[in-house]
Amino acid sequence: MRSLMADSFLDPTGLLEPAAVATQPFEPGHCARIFRAPLPGQALWLRFTVVNDHDGERRWFVTFMEYIFDEVTLFEQQADSIVAVAQNGRTIPLPERADTAVKTGFPLDIGPKAEKTFLLRITGTFAPSITPAIMAPDLYSDWTTLSLVMTAVMLGYLATIALISVVLFRHVEARFYQYYALYMTCFFVFSFIYDGWLSNFMGVTLPVTVLSPFREFMAGLGVFANIQYCRVLLRIDAERPSIRRLFTVLSGIAMLTTALAVVDPWRLSMPLHLTFFASPLVLLAISLKKVRDGLPQAKYVSGSLLFLTAGLSIAVYFFIFPIEITRATVAYDLIVLRPLTWGYSLAIMGETTFMMIAISTMMKSLQTQRQEALAEARSLWRNALAAQTRHAEALKVSTARIKELETSLIGNPRRKLAAPAEQRFVEAATECILERLGESGFGARELAAALGTSEKTLGRRLKEGCGLPPAAFIRSIRLGVARDLILLRQHGTIAEIARAVGFTSVGHFAKLYRQQFGELPSESLKAVKVAE
Protein backbone atom coordinates (compact mmCIF):
# COMPACT_ATOMS: atom_id res chain seq x y z
CA MET A 1 0.00 0.00 0.00
CA ARG A 2 1.04 3.57 -0.59
CA SER A 3 -0.59 7.01 -0.62
CA LEU A 4 -2.52 7.90 -3.73
CA MET A 5 -0.85 10.83 -5.51
CA ALA A 6 -3.63 12.81 -7.14
CA ASP A 7 -4.46 16.26 -8.47
CA SER A 8 -7.53 17.84 -6.86
CA PHE A 9 -10.38 20.15 -7.79
CA LEU A 10 -13.16 21.36 -5.48
CA ASP A 11 -16.52 21.87 -7.14
CA PRO A 12 -18.27 24.42 -4.87
CA THR A 13 -21.67 23.73 -6.43
CA GLY A 14 -21.42 19.94 -6.61
CA LEU A 15 -23.27 20.05 -9.93
CA LEU A 16 -20.48 19.99 -12.58
CA GLU A 17 -20.51 17.09 -15.03
CA PRO A 18 -17.32 15.03 -15.58
CA ALA A 19 -16.74 16.56 -19.01
CA ALA A 20 -16.89 20.07 -17.52
CA VAL A 21 -14.66 19.08 -14.63
CA ALA A 22 -12.00 17.76 -17.02
CA THR A 23 -11.52 21.28 -18.36
CA GLN A 24 -11.08 22.83 -14.92
CA PRO A 25 -7.64 23.68 -13.48
CA PHE A 26 -6.69 20.95 -11.02
CA GLU A 27 -4.27 21.67 -8.18
CA PRO A 28 -1.12 19.57 -8.59
CA GLY A 29 -0.90 16.79 -6.03
CA HIS A 30 2.67 15.55 -6.37
CA CYS A 31 3.23 16.06 -2.64
CA ALA A 32 -0.36 15.99 -1.41
CA ARG A 33 -1.48 12.93 0.52
CA ILE A 34 -4.35 14.43 2.56
CA PHE A 35 -7.19 16.44 1.01
CA ARG A 36 -9.74 18.67 2.64
CA ALA A 37 -13.19 17.08 2.63
CA PRO A 38 -15.99 18.84 0.75
CA LEU A 39 -18.74 20.53 2.70
CA PRO A 40 -22.41 19.61 2.10
CA GLY A 41 -23.38 20.64 -1.40
CA GLN A 42 -19.77 20.50 -2.65
CA ALA A 43 -17.85 17.78 -4.49
CA LEU A 44 -14.14 16.94 -4.40
CA TRP A 45 -12.57 15.57 -7.59
CA LEU A 46 -9.30 13.63 -7.54
CA ARG A 47 -7.42 12.85 -10.78
CA PHE A 48 -4.66 10.23 -10.83
CA THR A 49 -2.85 7.92 -13.23
CA VAL A 50 -1.98 4.27 -12.56
CA VAL A 51 0.94 2.70 -14.46
CA ASN A 52 1.47 -1.07 -14.76
CA ASP A 53 5.16 -1.80 -15.41
CA HIS A 54 4.64 -5.58 -15.22
CA ASP A 55 4.33 -8.01 -18.08
CA GLY A 56 0.90 -9.27 -16.94
CA GLU A 57 -2.39 -7.65 -16.04
CA ARG A 58 -2.49 -6.23 -12.51
CA ARG A 59 -5.31 -5.29 -10.13
CA TRP A 60 -5.15 -2.70 -7.38
CA PHE A 61 -7.76 -1.17 -5.09
CA VAL A 62 -8.26 2.55 -4.55
CA THR A 63 -9.63 3.13 -1.07
CA PHE A 64 -9.67 5.62 1.81
CA MET A 65 -8.55 5.60 5.42
CA GLU A 66 -11.92 7.16 6.32
CA TYR A 67 -15.12 5.13 6.62
CA ILE A 68 -18.10 7.21 5.61
CA PHE A 69 -18.96 8.84 2.27
CA ASP A 70 -22.32 9.75 0.82
CA GLU A 71 -21.16 8.90 -2.69
CA VAL A 72 -17.86 8.12 -4.39
CA THR A 73 -17.93 7.64 -8.15
CA LEU A 74 -14.98 6.32 -10.17
CA PHE A 75 -14.58 7.59 -13.74
CA GLU A 76 -12.10 6.43 -16.35
CA GLN A 77 -10.66 9.10 -18.66
CA GLN A 78 -10.56 7.82 -22.19
CA ALA A 79 -9.38 9.45 -25.41
CA ASP A 80 -12.57 11.34 -26.17
CA SER A 81 -14.78 10.86 -23.14
CA ILE A 82 -14.99 10.26 -19.40
CA VAL A 83 -16.86 7.07 -18.50
CA ALA A 84 -18.35 6.20 -15.07
CA VAL A 85 -16.88 2.88 -13.94
CA ALA A 86 -18.28 2.24 -10.46
CA GLN A 87 -20.06 3.82 -7.51
CA ASN A 88 -19.98 3.34 -3.77
CA GLY A 89 -21.08 5.13 -0.59
CA ARG A 90 -23.90 5.25 1.92
CA THR A 91 -26.47 6.80 -0.47
CA ILE A 92 -25.94 4.12 -3.11
CA PRO A 93 -28.32 1.11 -2.78
CA LEU A 94 -26.48 -2.12 -1.96
CA PRO A 95 -27.14 -3.89 -5.30
CA GLU A 96 -25.66 -0.93 -7.21
CA ARG A 97 -22.43 -0.62 -5.23
CA ALA A 98 -19.10 -1.61 -6.69
CA ASP A 99 -18.01 -2.94 -3.30
CA THR A 100 -20.20 -3.79 -0.29
CA ALA A 101 -17.29 -4.22 2.15
CA VAL A 102 -16.94 -2.08 5.26
CA LYS A 103 -14.33 0.04 3.55
CA THR A 104 -15.13 2.02 0.40
CA GLY A 105 -12.93 0.65 -2.40
CA PHE A 106 -12.74 0.36 -6.19
CA PRO A 107 -10.84 -2.30 -8.17
CA LEU A 108 -8.52 -1.01 -10.90
CA ASP A 109 -7.57 -3.50 -13.61
CA ILE A 110 -4.53 -2.35 -15.67
CA GLY A 111 -3.19 -4.29 -18.61
CA PRO A 112 0.51 -5.16 -19.07
CA LYS A 113 2.78 -2.21 -19.77
CA ALA A 114 -0.26 0.10 -19.75
CA GLU A 115 -1.48 3.12 -17.88
CA LYS A 116 -4.91 4.59 -17.16
CA THR A 117 -6.11 7.92 -15.84
CA PHE A 118 -9.05 7.99 -13.43
CA LEU A 119 -11.24 10.58 -11.72
CA LEU A 120 -12.85 10.19 -8.30
CA ARG A 121 -15.86 12.29 -7.38
CA ILE A 122 -16.37 12.44 -3.56
CA THR A 123 -19.36 13.96 -1.76
CA GLY A 124 -20.43 13.88 1.88
CA THR A 125 -18.12 12.61 4.62
CA PHE A 126 -17.96 12.74 8.42
CA ALA A 127 -14.24 13.43 8.62
CA PRO A 128 -12.86 16.91 7.84
CA SER A 129 -10.20 15.41 5.54
CA ILE A 130 -9.77 12.62 3.01
CA THR A 131 -6.78 10.28 2.87
CA PRO A 132 -6.83 8.13 -0.30
CA ALA A 133 -4.59 5.11 -0.79
CA ILE A 134 -3.88 2.42 -3.39
CA MET A 135 -3.14 -1.15 -2.33
CA ALA A 136 -2.98 -4.77 -3.44
CA PRO A 137 -6.25 -6.80 -3.42
CA ASP A 138 -5.06 -9.18 -0.68
CA LEU A 139 -4.14 -6.31 1.60
CA TYR A 140 -7.45 -4.59 0.92
CA SER A 141 -9.34 -7.79 1.76
CA ASP A 142 -7.36 -8.35 4.99
CA TRP A 143 -7.81 -4.72 6.02
CA THR A 144 -11.56 -4.80 5.39
CA THR A 145 -11.90 -8.04 7.35
CA LEU A 146 -9.82 -6.76 10.25
CA SER A 147 -11.80 -3.50 10.35
CA LEU A 148 -15.05 -5.47 10.35
CA VAL A 149 -13.87 -7.68 13.22
CA MET A 150 -12.65 -4.71 15.27
CA THR A 151 -15.88 -2.77 14.86
CA ALA A 152 -17.97 -5.89 15.60
CA VAL A 153 -15.97 -6.57 18.77
CA MET A 154 -16.27 -2.94 19.84
CA LEU A 155 -20.02 -2.83 19.25
CA GLY A 156 -20.52 -6.16 21.03
CA TYR A 157 -18.41 -4.99 23.94
CA LEU A 158 -20.34 -1.73 24.27
CA ALA A 159 -23.68 -3.54 24.12
CA THR A 160 -22.54 -6.05 26.76
CA ILE A 161 -21.28 -3.37 29.16
CA ALA A 162 -24.52 -1.39 28.76
CA LEU A 163 -26.53 -4.54 29.57
CA ILE A 164 -24.36 -5.37 32.60
CA SER A 165 -24.72 -1.85 33.95
CA VAL A 166 -28.52 -2.15 33.76
CA VAL A 167 -28.87 -5.71 35.10
CA LEU A 168 -26.20 -5.90 37.80
CA PHE A 169 -25.86 -2.36 39.13
CA ARG A 170 -29.46 -1.17 39.29
CA HIS A 171 -29.56 -1.85 43.06
CA VAL A 172 -26.56 0.45 43.71
CA GLU A 173 -28.32 3.70 42.83
CA ALA A 174 -30.90 4.21 40.11
CA ARG A 175 -29.34 7.41 38.78
CA PHE A 176 -25.97 5.73 38.40
CA TYR A 177 -26.96 2.78 36.24
CA GLN A 178 -29.34 4.90 34.19
CA TYR A 179 -26.67 7.45 33.32
CA TYR A 180 -24.00 4.78 32.73
CA ALA A 181 -26.32 2.74 30.50
CA LEU A 182 -27.12 5.94 28.57
CA TYR A 183 -23.38 6.67 28.29
CA MET A 184 -22.57 3.25 26.84
CA THR A 185 -25.61 3.36 24.54
CA CYS A 186 -24.42 6.69 23.12
CA PHE A 187 -21.00 5.26 22.32
CA PHE A 188 -22.66 2.19 20.77
CA VAL A 189 -24.89 4.28 18.48
CA PHE A 190 -22.01 6.63 17.64
CA SER A 191 -19.76 3.71 16.62
CA PHE A 192 -22.61 2.00 14.77
CA ILE A 193 -23.15 5.09 12.62
CA TYR A 194 -19.52 6.18 12.23
CA ASP A 195 -18.24 2.76 11.20
CA GLY A 196 -20.85 2.50 8.45
CA TRP A 197 -22.94 -0.40 9.77
CA LEU A 198 -26.18 1.45 9.23
CA SER A 199 -25.46 1.66 5.51
CA ASN A 200 -23.41 -1.47 4.80
CA PHE A 201 -25.45 -4.01 6.79
CA MET A 202 -28.91 -2.48 7.10
CA GLY A 203 -29.11 -0.85 3.67
CA VAL A 204 -30.09 2.56 5.08
CA THR A 205 -29.15 5.25 2.55
CA LEU A 206 -29.41 8.39 4.66
CA PRO A 207 -26.91 11.14 3.72
CA VAL A 208 -24.44 12.63 6.17
CA THR A 209 -26.48 15.85 6.27
CA VAL A 210 -29.09 13.80 8.14
CA LEU A 211 -26.82 11.51 10.15
CA SER A 212 -24.11 14.01 11.15
CA PRO A 213 -26.37 16.07 13.44
CA PHE A 214 -27.65 12.86 15.03
CA ARG A 215 -24.10 11.57 15.44
CA GLU A 216 -23.03 14.82 17.13
CA PHE A 217 -26.10 14.68 19.37
CA MET A 218 -25.20 11.16 20.52
CA ALA A 219 -21.60 12.21 21.14
CA GLY A 220 -22.67 15.23 23.20
CA LEU A 221 -25.27 13.19 25.08
CA GLY A 222 -22.50 10.72 25.95
CA VAL A 223 -20.39 13.55 27.40
CA PHE A 224 -23.38 14.74 29.47
CA ALA A 225 -24.08 11.21 30.76
CA ASN A 226 -20.39 10.79 31.64
CA ILE A 227 -20.54 13.93 33.79
CA GLN A 228 -23.72 12.79 35.53
CA TYR A 229 -22.68 9.24 36.43
CA CYS A 230 -19.31 10.52 37.68
CA ARG A 231 -21.31 12.94 39.83
CA VAL A 232 -23.16 10.01 41.39
CA LEU A 233 -20.15 7.70 41.63
CA LEU A 234 -17.94 10.34 43.26
CA ARG A 235 -20.69 11.40 45.72
CA ILE A 236 -20.60 15.01 44.51
CA ASP A 237 -24.03 15.81 45.99
CA ALA A 238 -22.41 15.57 49.43
CA GLU A 239 -19.65 18.01 48.45
CA ARG A 240 -19.54 21.74 49.08
CA PRO A 241 -21.65 24.01 46.84
CA SER A 242 -18.71 25.15 44.68
CA ILE A 243 -18.03 21.59 43.48
CA ARG A 244 -21.71 21.02 42.79
CA ARG A 245 -21.83 24.26 40.80
CA LEU A 246 -18.80 23.12 38.79
CA PHE A 247 -20.69 19.99 37.71
CA THR A 248 -23.68 22.12 36.80
CA VAL A 249 -21.43 24.32 34.64
CA LEU A 250 -19.87 21.26 32.96
CA SER A 251 -23.32 19.90 32.19
CA GLY A 252 -24.36 23.26 30.74
CA ILE A 253 -21.25 23.43 28.55
CA ALA A 254 -21.89 19.90 27.27
CA MET A 255 -25.47 20.77 26.32
CA LEU A 256 -24.48 24.08 24.71
CA THR A 257 -21.65 22.64 22.61
CA THR A 258 -23.87 19.72 21.61
CA ALA A 259 -26.55 22.13 20.42
CA LEU A 260 -23.97 24.04 18.33
CA ALA A 261 -22.63 20.84 16.77
CA VAL A 262 -26.15 19.64 15.93
CA VAL A 263 -26.96 22.94 14.21
CA ASP A 264 -23.84 22.76 11.98
CA PRO A 265 -21.63 19.68 12.41
CA TRP A 266 -19.09 20.92 9.84
CA ARG A 267 -18.46 24.43 11.14
CA LEU A 268 -19.53 24.42 14.80
CA SER A 269 -18.40 21.02 16.06
CA MET A 270 -14.98 22.15 17.33
CA PRO A 271 -16.30 23.26 20.78
CA LEU A 272 -17.83 19.80 21.26
CA HIS A 273 -14.56 18.12 20.25
CA LEU A 274 -12.75 20.24 22.84
CA THR A 275 -15.36 19.35 25.46
CA PHE A 276 -14.76 15.68 24.60
CA PHE A 277 -11.36 15.66 26.29
CA ALA A 278 -11.56 18.80 28.47
CA SER A 279 -14.50 17.42 30.46
CA PRO A 280 -12.72 14.16 31.45
CA LEU A 281 -9.69 16.24 32.50
CA VAL A 282 -11.82 18.24 34.95
CA LEU A 283 -13.48 15.05 36.20
CA LEU A 284 -10.03 13.48 36.61
CA ALA A 285 -8.87 16.36 38.81
CA ILE A 286 -11.98 16.02 41.00
CA SER A 287 -11.58 12.24 41.27
CA LEU A 288 -7.94 12.66 42.37
CA LYS A 289 -9.18 14.96 45.13
CA LYS A 290 -11.63 12.23 46.12
CA VAL A 291 -8.72 9.77 46.25
CA ARG A 292 -7.06 12.03 48.85
CA ASP A 293 -10.37 12.17 50.73
CA GLY A 294 -10.37 8.37 50.99
CA LEU A 295 -13.35 7.49 48.75
CA PRO A 296 -12.73 3.78 47.92
CA GLN A 297 -13.82 3.84 44.27
CA ALA A 298 -12.18 7.18 43.45
CA LYS A 299 -8.79 5.75 42.41
CA TYR A 300 -10.42 3.43 39.87
CA VAL A 301 -12.58 6.27 38.57
CA SER A 302 -9.32 8.23 38.14
CA GLY A 303 -7.82 5.38 36.11
CA SER A 304 -10.96 5.20 34.00
CA LEU A 305 -10.94 8.93 33.27
CA LEU A 306 -7.21 8.84 32.55
CA PHE A 307 -7.75 6.22 29.83
CA LEU A 308 -10.76 8.10 28.50
CA THR A 309 -8.86 11.38 28.38
CA ALA A 310 -5.80 9.88 26.70
CA GLY A 311 -7.75 7.83 24.16
CA LEU A 312 -10.22 10.54 23.20
CA SER A 313 -7.45 13.12 22.99
CA ILE A 314 -5.61 10.90 20.50
CA ALA A 315 -8.79 10.16 18.53
CA VAL A 316 -10.03 13.76 18.39
CA TYR A 317 -6.59 15.17 17.53
CA PHE A 318 -6.03 12.78 14.65
CA PHE A 319 -9.63 13.21 13.52
CA ILE A 320 -8.94 16.92 13.05
CA PHE A 321 -5.26 16.58 12.04
CA PRO A 322 -4.79 13.18 10.33
CA ILE A 323 -1.29 11.86 9.72
CA GLU A 324 0.11 11.01 6.31
CA ILE A 325 0.08 7.30 5.59
CA THR A 326 3.25 5.45 4.64
CA ARG A 327 3.91 2.16 2.92
CA ALA A 328 2.31 -0.89 4.55
CA THR A 329 2.42 -4.60 3.78
CA VAL A 330 -0.05 -6.09 6.33
CA ALA A 331 -3.44 -5.00 7.63
CA TYR A 332 -2.14 -4.39 11.16
CA ASP A 333 0.15 -1.68 9.77
CA LEU A 334 -2.93 0.12 8.48
CA ILE A 335 -4.57 -0.02 11.92
CA VAL A 336 -1.43 1.44 13.49
CA LEU A 337 -1.45 4.18 10.87
CA ARG A 338 -4.97 5.14 11.97
CA PRO A 339 -4.64 6.62 15.52
CA LEU A 340 -8.29 7.68 15.35
CA THR A 341 -9.34 4.00 15.44
CA TRP A 342 -7.06 2.65 18.13
CA GLY A 343 -7.24 5.84 20.20
CA TYR A 344 -11.01 5.52 20.35
CA SER A 345 -10.73 1.81 21.19
CA LEU A 346 -8.17 2.56 23.91
CA ALA A 347 -10.50 5.16 25.42
CA ILE A 348 -13.53 2.89 25.55
CA MET A 349 -11.83 -0.36 26.58
CA GLY A 350 -9.69 1.25 29.27
CA GLU A 351 -12.47 3.48 30.58
CA THR A 352 -15.01 0.70 30.92
CA THR A 353 -12.55 -1.77 32.46
CA PHE A 354 -11.56 0.59 35.24
CA MET A 355 -15.15 1.77 35.66
CA MET A 356 -16.31 -1.81 36.23
CA ILE A 357 -13.68 -2.12 38.97
CA ALA A 358 -14.85 1.19 40.44
CA ILE A 359 -18.46 0.01 40.44
CA SER A 360 -17.47 -3.28 42.10
CA THR A 361 -15.55 -1.35 44.75
CA MET A 362 -18.55 0.90 45.34
CA MET A 363 -20.83 -2.12 45.68
CA LYS A 364 -18.45 -3.76 48.14
CA SER A 365 -18.28 -0.55 50.18
CA LEU A 366 -22.07 -0.29 50.25
CA GLN A 367 -22.40 -3.93 51.30
CA THR A 368 -19.91 -3.36 54.12
CA GLN A 369 -21.89 -0.32 55.28
CA ARG A 370 -25.11 -2.29 55.18
CA GLN A 371 -23.58 -5.16 57.18
CA GLU A 372 -22.28 -2.70 59.78
CA ALA A 373 -25.68 -1.02 59.99
CA LEU A 374 -27.35 -4.42 60.38
CA ALA A 375 -24.93 -5.41 63.12
CA GLU A 376 -25.61 -2.11 64.92
CA ALA A 377 -29.37 -2.63 64.57
CA ARG A 378 -29.06 -6.12 66.05
CA SER A 379 -27.02 -4.75 68.92
CA LEU A 380 -29.63 -2.08 69.60
CA TRP A 381 -32.36 -4.67 69.47
CA ARG A 382 -30.55 -6.82 72.03
CA ASN A 383 -30.08 -3.76 74.25
CA ALA A 384 -33.78 -2.94 73.91
CA LEU A 385 -34.74 -6.50 74.86
CA ALA A 386 -32.43 -6.33 77.87
CA ALA A 387 -33.98 -3.01 78.89
CA GLN A 388 -37.47 -4.48 78.58
CA THR A 389 -36.43 -7.45 80.69
CA ARG A 390 -35.03 -5.14 83.39
CA HIS A 391 -38.19 -3.06 83.26
CA ALA A 392 -40.37 -6.16 83.65
CA GLU A 393 -38.31 -7.34 86.61
CA ALA A 394 -38.49 -3.91 88.25
CA LEU A 395 -42.25 -3.82 87.70
CA LYS A 396 -42.56 -7.28 89.19
CA VAL A 397 -40.60 -6.24 92.29
CA SER A 398 -42.65 -3.06 92.65
CA THR A 399 -45.90 -4.99 92.35
CA ALA A 400 -44.77 -7.46 95.01
CA ARG A 401 -43.85 -4.60 97.34
CA ILE A 402 -47.22 -2.92 96.81
CA LYS A 403 -49.08 -6.14 97.59
CA GLU A 404 -46.94 -6.67 100.70
CA LEU A 405 -47.69 -3.11 101.84
CA GLU A 406 -51.39 -3.56 101.22
CA THR A 407 -51.35 -6.77 103.23
CA SER A 408 -49.59 -5.05 106.14
CA LEU A 409 -52.10 -2.21 106.02
CA ILE A 410 -55.00 -4.62 106.12
CA GLY A 411 -53.43 -6.32 109.15
CA ASN A 412 -52.78 -2.96 110.83
CA PRO A 413 -55.54 -0.46 109.94
CA ARG A 414 -53.88 2.28 112.00
CA ARG A 415 -51.08 2.67 109.43
CA LYS A 416 -51.76 5.42 106.89
CA LEU A 417 -50.73 5.52 103.21
CA ALA A 418 -51.59 8.22 100.74
CA ALA A 419 -54.35 6.77 98.57
CA PRO A 420 -53.05 3.27 97.65
CA ALA A 421 -56.15 2.67 95.54
CA GLU A 422 -55.44 5.81 93.50
CA GLN A 423 -51.84 4.63 93.00
CA ARG A 424 -53.08 1.32 91.60
CA PHE A 425 -55.46 3.23 89.37
CA VAL A 426 -52.61 5.37 88.03
CA GLU A 427 -50.55 2.22 87.32
CA ALA A 428 -53.49 0.60 85.53
CA ALA A 429 -53.99 3.75 83.46
CA THR A 430 -50.28 3.80 82.63
CA GLU A 431 -50.31 0.17 81.46
CA CYS A 432 -53.39 0.85 79.35
CA ILE A 433 -51.70 3.82 77.67
CA LEU A 434 -48.51 1.83 77.00
CA GLU A 435 -50.51 -0.96 75.37
CA ARG A 436 -52.06 1.48 72.89
CA LEU A 437 -49.13 3.87 72.64
CA GLY A 438 -48.99 4.03 68.85
CA GLU A 439 -52.64 4.98 68.42
CA SER A 440 -52.73 8.70 67.77
CA GLY A 441 -56.47 8.93 68.48
CA PHE A 442 -56.22 7.35 71.96
CA GLY A 443 -57.36 10.09 74.38
CA ALA A 444 -59.24 10.61 77.65
CA ARG A 445 -62.49 9.14 76.35
CA GLU A 446 -60.78 5.97 75.11
CA LEU A 447 -58.77 5.65 78.33
CA ALA A 448 -61.92 5.97 80.47
CA ALA A 449 -63.66 3.33 78.38
CA ALA A 450 -60.68 0.99 78.66
CA LEU A 451 -60.63 1.38 82.46
CA GLY A 452 -64.41 0.95 82.72
CA THR A 453 -65.12 4.35 84.19
CA SER A 454 -66.46 7.74 83.14
CA GLU A 455 -64.34 10.64 81.90
CA LYS A 456 -65.31 12.68 84.96
CA THR A 457 -64.26 9.90 87.35
CA LEU A 458 -61.07 9.38 85.36
CA GLY A 459 -60.15 13.04 85.70
CA ARG A 460 -60.85 13.06 89.42
CA ARG A 461 -58.89 9.91 90.22
CA LEU A 462 -55.88 10.92 88.06
CA LYS A 463 -55.87 14.33 89.74
CA GLU A 464 -55.79 12.62 93.16
CA GLY A 465 -53.25 10.01 92.11
CA CYS A 466 -50.67 12.05 90.16
CA GLY A 467 -51.93 15.61 90.04
CA LEU A 468 -52.46 15.69 86.25
CA PRO A 469 -55.59 15.87 84.10
CA PRO A 470 -56.11 12.95 81.65
CA ALA A 471 -54.77 14.72 78.53
CA ALA A 472 -51.60 15.89 80.32
CA PHE A 473 -51.17 12.45 81.88
CA ILE A 474 -51.40 10.68 78.51
CA ARG A 475 -49.04 13.24 76.95
CA SER A 476 -46.43 12.79 79.72
CA ILE A 477 -46.47 8.99 79.23
CA ARG A 478 -45.99 9.36 75.47
CA LEU A 479 -43.13 11.86 75.87
CA GLY A 480 -41.41 9.70 78.49
CA VAL A 481 -41.48 6.67 76.20
CA ALA A 482 -40.25 8.84 73.31
CA ARG A 483 -37.25 9.91 75.37
CA ASP A 484 -36.49 6.26 76.19
CA LEU A 485 -36.60 5.39 72.48
CA ILE A 486 -34.19 8.21 71.70
CA LEU A 487 -31.76 7.17 74.42
CA LEU A 488 -31.91 3.54 73.27
CA ARG A 489 -31.74 4.61 69.57
CA GLN A 490 -34.68 2.39 68.64
CA HIS A 491 -35.47 4.45 65.55
CA GLY A 492 -33.35 6.29 63.03
CA THR A 493 -35.35 9.50 62.74
CA ILE A 494 -37.41 11.82 64.96
CA ALA A 495 -40.43 11.30 62.67
CA GLU A 496 -40.35 7.56 63.30
CA ILE A 497 -40.16 8.10 67.07
CA ALA A 498 -43.06 10.57 66.97
CA ARG A 499 -45.23 8.10 65.09
CA ALA A 500 -44.22 5.28 67.44
CA VAL A 501 -45.60 7.14 70.48
CA GLY A 502 -48.80 8.36 68.78
CA PHE A 503 -47.97 11.85 67.50
CA THR A 504 -49.07 12.69 63.96
CA SER A 505 -47.26 16.04 63.80
CA VAL A 506 -43.48 16.03 64.22
CA GLY A 507 -43.44 19.77 64.89
CA HIS A 508 -46.07 19.48 67.67
CA PHE A 509 -44.16 16.55 69.14
CA ALA A 510 -40.88 18.51 69.15
CA LYS A 511 -42.59 21.49 70.85
CA LEU A 512 -44.11 19.37 73.64
CA TYR A 513 -40.85 17.43 74.07
CA ARG A 514 -38.91 20.65 74.54
CA GLN A 515 -41.44 21.93 77.09
CA GLN A 516 -41.07 18.77 79.17
CA PHE A 517 -37.32 18.06 78.87
CA GLY A 518 -35.84 21.47 78.04
CA GLU A 519 -34.35 20.41 74.68
CA LEU A 520 -35.44 19.36 71.21
CA PRO A 521 -35.63 15.63 70.41
CA SER A 522 -33.01 16.14 67.68
CA GLU A 523 -30.63 17.55 70.30
CA SER A 524 -31.19 14.49 72.50
CA LEU A 525 -30.53 12.18 69.55
CA LYS A 526 -27.38 14.08 68.62
CA ALA A 527 -26.12 13.87 72.22
CA VAL A 528 -26.62 10.09 72.19
CA LYS A 529 -24.63 9.76 68.92
CA VAL A 530 -21.80 11.89 70.29
CA ALA A 531 -21.71 9.80 73.46
CA GLU A 532 -21.40 6.62 71.43
Per-residue confidence band for 404, with pLDDT thresholds at 50, 70 and 90: low
Higher-confidence position of 211 and 167: 211
Give me the pLDDT at residue 221, please.
Answer: 92
Task: Check whether 335 has a pLDDT greater than 80.
Answer: no
Query: Which of the 8 DSSP states describes residue 27?
Result: B
Query: Which of the 8 DSSP states describes residue 505?
Result: -
Higher-confidence position of 327 and 185: 185
Q: To the nearest 10°, the Cα dihedral for 456, 460, 461, 466?
A: 130
Model pLDDT for residues 353-397, shown as the tens digit of each residue: 887 777 777 777 767 777 777 778 778 878 877 877 777 776 776
Task: Check whether 415 has a pLDDT greater than 60.
Answer: no
Q: Which of 125-129, 277-281, 400-404 has the lowest mean pLDDT?
A: 400-404
**Domains of the chain (ranges plus CATH)?**
2-135 (2.60.40.2380), 138-373 (1.20.1070), 418-531 (1.10.10.60)
Give me the pLDDT at residue 119, please.
Answer: 93
Which of 241-250, 365-374, 475-484: highest mean pLDDT?
Answer: 241-250
Task: Check whether 173 has a pLDDT greater than 90.
Answer: no
Task: Check whether 405 has a pLDDT greater than 60.
Answer: no
Per-residue confidence band for 429, with pLDDT thresholds at 50, 70 and 90: confident
Mean predicted lDDT score pLDDT of the chain? 82
Q: Which of 170-179, 283-292, 462-471 has the lowest mean pLDDT?
A: 170-179
For 324, 376, 438, 470, 495, the CA distances from 505, given in Å and listed in that order, are: 75, 28, 13, 20, 8
Phi–psi pair at 289, nearest 5 degrees:
-65, -40
Model pLDDT for residues 49-106, shown as the tens digit of each residue: 999 998 889 999 999 888 778 899 999 988 788 999 998 888 887 777 887 777 788 9
Higher-confidence position of 443 and 366: 443
CA separation for the pair 99, 64 (Å, rounded): 13
CA separation for the pair 458, 465 (Å, rounded): 10
CA separation for the pair 155, 360 (Å, rounded): 23
